[in-house]
Amino acid sequence: MTSPAPLAERIAAARPAAGSLAAWWLGGSGFIFKTPAGRQVWIDPYLSDVVKTMFGVARAFSAPITAAEAAPDFVISTHWHEDHLDPGCIPELARRQPTAKFIMSPGAMAHAVSWGLSPRQITTIVPGQTLDLGDVKLTAIVARHEAGVPGWEVPDAFGVVLDFGGVRVFHTGDTDYDARIHRAVAATPLALATLCINGSVGNMNAHEAALLAWQLDARTLIPHHHLLWAREKIPAYETLDPNLFADTYRKLGGAAKVILPTVGGGYTITAGGAVPN
């Protein structure tokens, strides 16, 4: 069996048909979407190992693409925590892609500007706002990401619904379970919903994520934020097995397809759902 081409080559070669998207998981909470027009929308890319430097927690795997290889048109950071607004890659992306637009919360902007990003490259957004980016509309969705770590609270964290001409994707970002989320999204038909499941530092656990998923009108589900950090001991309260999310969702009666992602894995998304490549 031959190994897949490097991710950067697969992204460059992808030619999504009309009415579809190409997508890839970067690990953590990071996703890339490519439109039929060739535009790339990146969400929460964490490509460095800066959290090891800051907190002693290393990556569990190498980043599947480097900032030098990346070619985003839009980069969305759902909050300013380092694994979502990466100080090891965001400034480099901004330098290498001067026409790229960076979309983030006001709190995240304060960090990004201090790293040298031009305010002209940044658009801020808060829950309830919608941005029209041409072939994609972006709506910020409420999130409740109470990290419980002094100095690292993020009251302006958000999730996002991306509407690619009727192919809609909901990305939770980092959040605890909150009924305001499903009230904001439940009436929106989704091709894909991606949900954090790790259950620590202000995030849903696998059971809570399954409940939220059950309350959505989604064709496909992908859990995330369960495979990023290398740890010798996993706290008992963390729910890092994506099968736990899938099993709980099925017990609730959920009928959507659940995809357990692989780092660098690719997907084709239409209004009818997502399928692995």
Q: What is the tens place of the pLDDT at every residue in 11-25?
A: 999 999 999 999 999
> How far apart are the two ends of the chain, measured CA to CA in Å?
15
Residue 147: its pLDDT value, please?
A: 86
To which H or E segment does residue 169 belong?
A: strand 167-171
- The strands making up 273-276's β-sheet, listed across from edge to edge, are 122-124, 101-104, 74-77, 40-43, 30-34, 20-27, 266-270, 273-276
- Extract the residue ranges of the chain whose pLDDT is less than 70: 1-3
Q: Are 74 and 44 in contact (CB under 8 A)?
A: no
Angle between helix axes 206-214 and 242-251 (nearest 10 degrees) is 40
Residue 1: its pLDDT value, please?
A: 53
- Residue 238 has what DSSP assignment? -
Buried b (16+ CB within 10 A) or exposed e, 201-237: ebbbbbbbbbbbbbbbebbbbbbbbbbbbeeeeeeee
Q: Are 121 and 94 in contact (CB under 8 A)?
A: yes
Residue 232: its pLDDT value, please?
A: 80
For residue 154, give the nearest of 118, 104, 188, 91 by alpha carbon: 104
Residue 3: its pLDDT value, please?
A: 67
Q: Phi, psi (5° rounding) for residue 175? A: -165, 150
Q: What pLDDT digit, counting tens, does each position of 181-217 carry?
A: 999 999 999 999 999 999 999 999 999 999 999 999 9
Cα 78 to Cα 234: distance, rounded to the nearest angstrom: 25
Over 80-149, what HEC string results? Answer: CCCCCCCCCCHHHHHHHCCCCEEEECHHHHHHHHHCCCCHHHEEECCCCCEEECCCCEEEEEECCCCCCC
Q: Phi, psi (5° rounding) for residue 185? A: -120, -20
- The strands making up 192-196's β-sheet, listed across from edge to edge, are 130-132, 137-142, 158-164, 167-171, 192-196, 220-224, 257-258
At 97, list the tokens.
């892609």
Cα 52 to Cα 226: distance, rounded to the nearest angstrom: 17
